[in-house]
Amino acid sequence: MGVGIQVEKLNAYFGKTQALHDINITMAANQCTAVIGPSGCGKSTFVRCLNRMHETVPDARATGRVRIGELDVYNGTSAVAIRRRIGMVFQKPNPFPTMSIYDNVAAGLKLNGFHERKKLDEIVERSLQLSALWNEVKDHLKKKSGASLSGGQQQRLCIARALAVQPEVLLMDEPCSALDPISTGKIEELIFQLKERFTIVIVTHNMQQASRVAEFTGFFLLGELIEFDKTTKIFTTPSDKRTEDYITGRFG
Amino acid sequence: MPEMNATATTLPPISLWRRGKNAVVTGAAVGAVIVVLAPLVAIFGYLVYKGIGSINWAFLTQIPAGPGESGGGMANAIAGSCLILAIGSVMGVPIGIGAGIYLAEYGRNRFGDVIRFTADVLNGVPSIVVGIVAYAIVVVTQGHFSALAGGCALAIMMIPTITRTTEEMLLLVPNVVREAAYGLGVSRWRTTLSITLRTATSGVITGVMLAFARVAGETAPLLFTTLGNQYWNWKLNEPTAALSLQVFSYAISPYEEWHRQAWAGALILIVLIVAAVCAVRIAASRGTLKGAN
């Protein structure tokens, strides 16, 4: 089951540059929240703060409070433990190039010391079915490299890989920006199904995509959260002038 | 938005001048390849021509005959070379790869720069100097020449090459691959070993084989470390025969027979190096998956 996310006074920095200013946001469990805004507004930094990927960049740091379910992300838990519970899908598909399809999906479990063959087989199959890739790859799971798949298949492989560790939250950082419309459609369908099990946060440049998949939408501008509301509200009657300018294409 | 002009501009046909230039540059590139390959083929051809006649079963299975006697072989030197190279690799490869990992994953600082500079300088140190160092450190303290001392000298020569190539190869692994592992909750050291190093395996192996091939034929660092031996020896602590040493002492000897055997020894040495490199390559490529890059 998914869990809710509460963010309080989140500030993020790259060296001396502040990338996020006092972000406060509450996301409900088992919902999909879209994060939109022009390039460089801090969308990616925001989701990367949720699973502490932000701090893997040299000189980057974040302050504030993030709670994911009962978990206090910045207090008392190691970053590694947090990332096991919060899955992430990146902008560019990034399968492990030297690993087979099977090993790619099993990687998160195997590298964390889980080696029961039968259980692994089960989890790999279930994850690939969830990400709608099973039928396309089931005949050469262990023979083909993850890198041999097409871009859209690679992205679904990366989703399966994230699902295999059974996270409670799934963060997606522009998961469709490198994909064609057909693959994009498949991934959006997937998001609909995954919502039943996970809380999803998706960063997107595509406003139609936000309105298709997300119940809630947050609009970021210059490192600030300008508006956060129901998606229908944001796209029909936004309360902030800047949001309206952005979604009507007047800037950004 | 600017629109593309519907009527395409017709480009002039490619001129004779440009086609000529193309031919000249292509020809120059082919010529350069020939110049690179020619010495290799010539050396190998000449070695076969001079050495093949002296290679026989006795040469591969017997120890050297006494001065002036005919027959005898270099079996002990072949075995000794393998032994010394094994010692050198066992010591040099893990240290070299370990240092390379440190430089690539943790060494973006002053200390890393110092190591990088040191490795580059070490790479340029003449092999005879490395031999003297191994002599001073191992031979003098132990009180006698040994295969171990020779192995140490070769390891010292292998380390900088392996370190620098390992670092380069790890840096070629895109950061998104590391991020993918971090995102799954894999710890940093596990990511480095199981993801980054694994992704860079073929490049790292190339670096190791380069270092191996470079030291395999070295004579200078062995001169006063392993010393050479006319008889069989399997003890790591005793003076040991090596192909390169044997070739050297036979080549400067006054006997025709020994000259011929020196050629044969040189040929065997090259064949062994090529065989070792090929064997590792084949072993490494067996696990490669379809479509992996």
As a whole number, the mean pLDDT across chain B is 90
- Do the chains contact at A148 and B291, CB–CB below 8 Å? yes
- Do the chains contact at B184 and A140, CB–CB below 8 Å? no
- pLDDT at residue A248 is higher than 90: no
In this structure, the number of other CB atoms found within 10 A of the CB of residue A150 comes to 13
- Do the chains contact at A96 and B177, CB–CB below 8 Å? yes
Q: Across the A/B interface, how many CB contacts are shorter than 8 Å?
A: 95
pLDDT tens digit sequence for B191-249: 999 999 999 998 999 999 999 999 999 999 999 899 888 888 888 888 999 999 999 99
As a whole number, the mean pLDDT across chain A is 90
Closest residue in chain B to residue A52, using alpha carbons only: B183
* ipTM of the complex as predicted: 0.89
Quote the pLDDT of residue B1.
47
Of A179 and B29, the one with more pLDDT? B29
- pLDDT at residue B137 is higher than 60: yes
The SS3 assignment for A166 reads coil
* Domain spans of chain B, in order of start: 59-284
pLDDT tens digit sequence for B99-131: 999 999 999 899 999 999 999 999 999 999 999
Instruction: Work out the pLDDT band at B283, boundaries 50, 70, 90.
Output: confident
Closest chain A C-alpha to B111 CA, distance in angstroms: 17
In chain B, helix, strand, coil percent, each to 5?
75, 0, 25
- Do the chains contact at B289 and A143, CB–CB below 8 Å? yes
- pLDDT at residue B5 is higher than 60: no
pLDDT tens digit sequence for A134-168: 999 999 899 899 999 998 899 999 999 999 998 98
Considering only CB atoms, which chain B residues are within 8 Å of A90? 176, 179-180, 183
Q: What's the rounded Cα separation, in Å, for the pair A65 and A10?
A: 6
Asked whether residue A140 is domain-assigned, the answer is: no
What average pLDDT does this structure show over A63-85? 89
Q: Which domain holds residue A53?
A: 5-93+168-247
Q: Using a CB cutoff of 8 Å and minimum separation of 24, what contacts does A51-55 make?
A: A51/A82, A51/A83, A51/A86, A51/A88, A51/A169, A51/A171, A51/B183, A52/A79, A52/A82, A52/A83, A53/A83, A53/A88, A53/B179, A53/B182, A53/B183, A54/A12, A55/A79
Instruction: Work out the pLDDT band at B285, boundaries 50, 70, 90.
Output: confident
Q: What's the rounded Cα separation, in Å, for the pair B98 and B107?
A: 12
- For the full predicted model, state whether its pTM sits above 0.90: no
Interface of B with A (CB under 8 A): 108, 174, 176-177, 179-187, 190-191, 194-195, 198-199, 201, 288-293
- Do the chains contact at A140 and B290, CB–CB below 8 Å? yes
Share of chain B above pLDDT 70, in %: 95
Closest residue in chain A to residue B290, using alpha carbons only: A144
CA dihedral A245, A246, A248, A251 (to 10 degrees): 80
In angstroms, the Cα distances linking A207 to A27, A54, A212, B8, B200 are 19, 25, 9, 36, 39
DSSP code for A59: T
Considering only CB atoms, which chain B residues are within 8 Å of A100? 289
Which of A46, A38, A39 is CA-nearest to residue A11? Answer: A46
- Do the chains contact at A140 and B182, CB–CB below 8 Å? no
- pLDDT at residue B281 is higher than 90: no
Quote the pLDDT of residue B273.
92
Tokens in use for B125? 């140190």
Task: Residue A41: give its domain's CATH number.
Answer: 3.40.50.300
What average pLDDT does this structure show over A115-134? 92
Q: What's the rounded Cα separation, in Å, for the pair A242 and B3?
A: 31
**Residues β-bridged to residue B18:** none
Share of chain A above pLDDT 90, in %: 62
**Residues β-bridged to residue A12:** A20, A62
- pLDDT at residue B6 is higher than 60: no
pLDDT tens digit sequence for A193-245: 888 888 999 999 888 899 999 999 999 999 999 999 999 999 999 999 999 99
Instruction: Decide the pairing of beta strands A60-68 and A71-72.
Output: antiparallel
Quote the pLDDT of residue A14.
94
pLDDT tens digit sequence for B139-168: 999 999 999 999 999 999 999 999 999 999
Considering only CB atoms, which chain B residues are within 8 Å of A144? 289-291
Asked whether residue A163 is domain-assigned, the answer is: no
Q: What's the rounded Cα separation, in Å, for the pair B56 and B66?
A: 18
Q: Which CATH architecture has domain B59-284?
A: Orthogonal Bundle (1.10)
The SS3 assignment for B58 reads helix
Spatial strand order in the sheet of A5-14: A17-27, A5-14, A60-68, A71-72
In this structure, the number of other CB atoms found within 10 A of the CB of residue B39 comes to 9
> How remote is the C-alpha of B244 from its chain's centroid?
15
Of A76 and B217, the one with more pLDDT? B217
**Residues β-bridged to residue A201:** A33, A171
- pLDDT at residue B58 is higher than 70: yes
Which of A94, A75, A200, A201 is CA-nearest to residue A147? Answer: A94
Share of chain B above pLDDT 90, in %: 74
Quote the pLDDT of residue B2.
53
Asked whether residue A137 is domain-assigned, the answer is: no
**Residues β-bridged to residue A230:** A216
